[in-house]
């Protein structure tokens, strides 16, 4: 069946992902757990992957998209190589998170949920990241930048720009 699904959807899942789907196929909450793993594999959930999950689980594609679009965690478009998450939780917002977000948009020339033309950066406004004592906070990949000011942004971005 997996081979037939690949022909129909044009996307290939790793054996790890297929095993994960099989492991969760009959469990409660399976769709969210499977979609988390799909996003982990691709960095987002491509339409072809959503179609493949729908076929493998024998559920309507509309149900898959209902879950993907309900939860902010899931992404439908491929993020930049460096996804910049700007915390907009209460503490970060009150301490200038919105100013940080606007400055990033200005520097990079893109808006929230957009990707630079070279594919290097994307910007995402996120809810509380749990580092309120460091507000305002921005996360780039695994790196957390706290007590952030607008004037530090060019230096931070330069650490991630491909030379």
What tens digit of pLDDT does each residue of 70-129 get?
988 899 989 999 999 999 999 999 999 999 999 999 999 999 999 999 999 999 999 899
Residues in the chain: 163
Q: What band does 9 get if pLDDT is binned at 50, 70 and 90?
A: low
Q: Are strands 121-126 and 82-87 parallel, antiparallel or unpaired?
A: parallel
Query: Which strand (E) or helix (H) includes residue 162?
Result: none
Q: How far apart are CA 27 and CA 89, in angstroms?
A: 33
Q: Which two tokens stand for residue 7?
A: 């022909």
Residue 37's nearest CA partner among 16, 55, 54 is 16
Q: What band does 37 get if pLDDT is binned at 50, 70 and 90?
A: very high
Half-sphere exposure at residue 11, Cβ-oriented, CA atoms within 13 angstroms = 18
Give residue 8's pLDDT: 56
């Amino acid at each position: 069946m997996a081979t037939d699904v690949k022909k129909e959807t044009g996307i290939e899942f790793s054996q790890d992902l297929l095993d994960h789907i099989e492991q969760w196929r009959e469990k409660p909450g399976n769709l969210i757990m499977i979609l988390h793993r799909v996003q982990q594999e691709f960095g987002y959930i491509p339409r072809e992957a959503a179609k493949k999950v729908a076929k493998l689980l024998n559920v309507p594609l509309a149900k898959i998209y209902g879950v993907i679009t309900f939860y902010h965690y899931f992404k439908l478009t491929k993020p930049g190589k460096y996804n910049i998450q700007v915390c907009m939780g209460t503490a970060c917002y009150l301490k200038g998170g919105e100013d940080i977000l606007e400055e990033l948009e200005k520097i990079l020339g893109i808006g929230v949920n957009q990707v630079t033309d070279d594919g290097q950066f994307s910007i995402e406004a996120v809810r509380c990241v749990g580092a309120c004592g460091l507000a305002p906070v921005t996360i780039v990949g695994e790196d957390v930048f706290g007590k952030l000011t607008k004037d530090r942004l060019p230096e931070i971005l330069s650490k991630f720009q491909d030379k």
